[in-house]
C-alpha cells in the first residue's frame, strides 16, 4: 500500500473528510515532490472518498509531475490568492468537507484562519500523530537512501580530518568539507559544525575564526542529504597528543555510544537506551557534563520522531532510524560527542555511519 493510500485508509477508518498536508517534509513524504516554497502555499489535499490534489506555486507544476505525482496538480501565481484556488478545487470534488485533518504542530494561525473563513462549520482534527507514526517506520527503499546519506557523512568527516592543519580556522575547515560535498553534487542536512578546543566544550559553540592549535580536540557535527534523506554524524578528533583527562573523556563517551548501540533491538524502549549511555558516563564521574538527550529520529527531517530521551517510554521496532549521540562538555578540559545513525533490524541493530571511533590523532 502506498503512503498516500495508507493515510486515506486512516481517513476512512476515522471518518475524517479530508487531510491538508502543508509541511514540505510531509508533502515530500506523500508526493515525492521535494521543495521548500518559503511563504508560498504548497500542500497535498487528500480526501476520504475523492481524488487528491496538490497545490503549489505555478512555476513548480512541471516538477511535481516529474516527481511522479499522478493526480491533479493546481498552480497559483504570486498575483493570485492561493486560498481561492484551494476553495474552488475542493468544490469540484463534490464530497463532504466538514471534518478536516491538519498538522496541528505546524500549520500557522494565519493559514488556520484562512481555512476557517472559507469553509463554514469546519471541524479540525490533528493528523500529526498518524504521520509521525508512519514516518518512524522506514521502508527498505528509504533505508537504501539513508545508507547512502551516511556514507557521504563518513566521507565528509574524512575530508574534515584531512583539512586540519595548525593555524587554520574552524570556518576554513568547514568550508573545505562543504565544498567537497557540493562538488559531489549534494547538500548538507544542516549547517556544519567544526569546533576546536574550548569551543567544542561549550554547548552553544558556533564555528568562527578560532585557529587550530596543538592539543586541541576538534568536534565535527555534520550531515548530508541523499535523495531527500538526511544523515547526521559527530566525530571528535585530536590535533597533537591529547592529555590524560581528554583521553579519559573520549573513552567514556565512546563507551556510552557503544553500550547504547549494543542494546538496540526490537522492543527496547527509547528511555532505556538513554539510561544505558547516561549510566556509563555517570559511572566515569562525568554525569553532570552530559547535558542533552541521547538522540533523535532521523529521515526526511534531520530531527524527527522518536525522541531518544530519559522519559520516552516508546518501544522501538524494526525499521526505526535514530541517532545515538552522547557527549561530555567539561569547560576548558574537553568537549567530546560521538554520534552515529542506527536502524533497528529484525534481530538487533545496523549502524549506518561507519567512520572509525578509535581516537584519531592528527
Ligand atoms: Mn549531529
Ligand atoms: Mn543529531
CA gap 224, 155 in Å, rounded: 10
CA gap 4, 52 in Å, rounded: 9
Q: Show the domain range for 122.
A: 3-135
Is 86 a member of any domain?
yes
Collapsing DSSP to helix, strand or coil, 87 comes out as: helix
Q: Please report which confidence band the pLDDT of residue 203 belongs to, taking 50, 70 and 90 as the band edges.
A: low
- For residue 1, pLDDT over 80 is answered with no
Is 339 a member of any domain?
yes
Residues 99 and 157 in one domain: no
pLDDT at 133: 95
Contact 122, 100 (CB under 8 A): yes
Contact 214, 167 (CB under 8 A): no
pLDDT in tens, 234-274: 999 999 999 999 999 999 999 999 999 999 999 999 999 99
How many A from CA of 33 to the centre of ligand 2?
Answer: 25
Residues 100 and 148 in one domain: no
Residues 90 and 22 in one domain: yes
Q: Please report which confidence band the pLDDT of residue 88 belongs to, taking 50, 70 and 90 as the band edges.
A: very high
Q: Among the three residues 105, 135, 165, which one is the final residue of a domain in this structure?
A: 135
The count of domains in the chain is 2
β-strands 18-21, 99-102 pairing:
parallel
Mean pLDDT estimate for the chain: 97
pLDDT at 40: 94
- For residue 204, pLDDT over 90 is answered with no
How many A from CA of 230 to the centre of ligand 2?
Answer: 10
pLDDT at 211: 97
Residues 90 and 156 in one domain: no
Is 29 a member of any domain?
yes
| Ramachandran angles phi, psi of 148, nearest 5° | -70, -40
Instruction: Provide the CATH number for the domain around residue 242.
Output: 3.90.230.10
How many A from CA of 203 to the centre of ligand 1?
Answer: 12
Residues 158 and 117 in one domain: no
How many A from CA of 338 to the centre of ligand 2?
Answer: 10
Q: Among the three residues 135, 158, 175, which one is the final residue of a domain in this structure?
A: 135
Mean pLDDT of 27-36: 97
How many A from CA of 339 to the centre of ligand 2?
Answer: 7
| Ramachandran angles phi, psi of 168, nearest 5° | -75, 145
Mean pLDDT of 167-171: 98
Ligand nearest to the CA of residue 221, numbered in listed order: 1
pLDDT in tens, 36-82: 999 999 999 999 999 999 999 999 999 999 999 999 999 999 999 99
How many A from CA of 234 to the centre of ligand 1?
Answer: 5
Q: What is the DSSP letter of 344?
A: E
Residues 281 and 163 in one domain: yes
Q: Please report which confidence band the pLDDT of residue 29 belongs to, taking 50, 70 and 90 as the band edges.
A: very high
Angle in degrees, CA 292, 137, 123, rounded to 5: 90
How many A from CA of 341 to the centre of ligand 2?
Answer: 8
Q: Among the three residues 120, 135, 150, which one is the final residue of a domain in this structure?
A: 135
Amino acid at each position: 500500500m502506498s503512503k498516500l493510500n495508507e493515510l486515506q485508509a486512516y481517513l476512512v477508518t476515522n471518518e475524517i473528510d479530508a487531510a491538508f498536508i502543508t509541511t514540505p517534509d510531509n508533502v515530500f513524504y506523500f508526493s515525492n515532490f521535494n521543495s521548500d516554497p518559503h511563504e508560498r502555499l504548497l500542500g497535498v489535499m487528500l480526501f476520504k472518498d475523492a481524488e487528491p490534489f496538490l497545490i503549489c506555486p505555478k512555476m513548480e507544476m512541471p516538477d511535481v509531475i516529474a516527481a511522479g505525482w499522478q493526480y491533479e496538480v493546481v498552480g497559483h501565481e504570486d498575483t493570485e490568492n492561493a486560498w481561492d484556488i484551494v476553495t474552488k478545487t475542493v468544490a469540484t470534488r463534490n464530497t463532504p468537507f466538514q471534518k478536516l485533518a491538519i498538522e496541528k504542530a505546524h500549520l500557522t494561525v494565519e493559514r488556520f484562519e484562512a481555512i476557517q473563513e472559507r469553509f463554514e462549520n469546519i471541524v479540525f482534527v490533528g493528523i500529526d500523530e498518524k504521520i509521525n507514526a508512519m514516518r518512524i517506520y522506514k521502508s527498505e527503499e528509504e533505508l537504501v537512501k539513508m545508507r547512502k546519506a551516511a556514507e557521504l557523512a563518513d566521507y565528509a568527516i574524512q575530508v574534515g580530518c584531512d583539512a586540519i592543519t595548525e593555524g587554520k580556522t574552524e570556518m576554513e575547515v568547514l568550508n573545505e568539507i562543504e565544498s567537497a560535498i557540493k562538488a559531489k553534487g549534494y547538500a548538507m542536512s544542516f549547517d556544519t559544525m567544526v569546533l576546536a578546543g574550548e569551543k567544542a566544550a561549550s554547548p552553544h559553540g558556533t564555528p568562527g575564526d578560532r585557529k587550530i592549535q596543538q592539543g586541541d580536540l576538534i568536534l565535527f557535527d555534520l550531515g548530508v542529504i541523499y535523495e531527500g534523506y538526511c544523515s547526521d554524524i559527530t566525530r571528535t578528533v585530536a590535533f597533537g597528543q591529547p592529555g590524560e583527562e581528554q583521553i579519559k573523556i573520549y573513552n567514556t563517551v565512546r563507551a556510552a555510544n557503544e553500550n547504547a548501540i549494543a542494546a538496540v533491538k526490537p522492543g527496547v524502549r527509547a528511555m532505556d537506551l538513554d539510561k544505558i549511555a547516561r549510566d556509563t558516563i555517570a559511572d566515569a564521574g562525568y554525569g553532570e557534563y552530559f547535558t542533552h538527550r541521547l538522540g533523535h529520529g532521523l529521515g526526511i527531517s534531520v530531527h524527527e520522531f522518536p525522541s531518544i530521551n530519559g522519559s520516552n517510554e516508546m518501544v522501538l521496532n524494526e525499521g526505526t532510524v535514530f541517532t545515538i549521540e552522547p557527549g561530555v562538555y567539561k569547560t576548558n578540559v574537553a568537549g567530546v560527542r560521538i554520534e552515529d545513525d542506527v536502524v533497528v533490524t529484525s534481530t538487533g541493530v545496523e549502524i549506518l555511519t561507519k567512520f572509525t571511533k578509535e581516537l584519531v590523532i592528527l
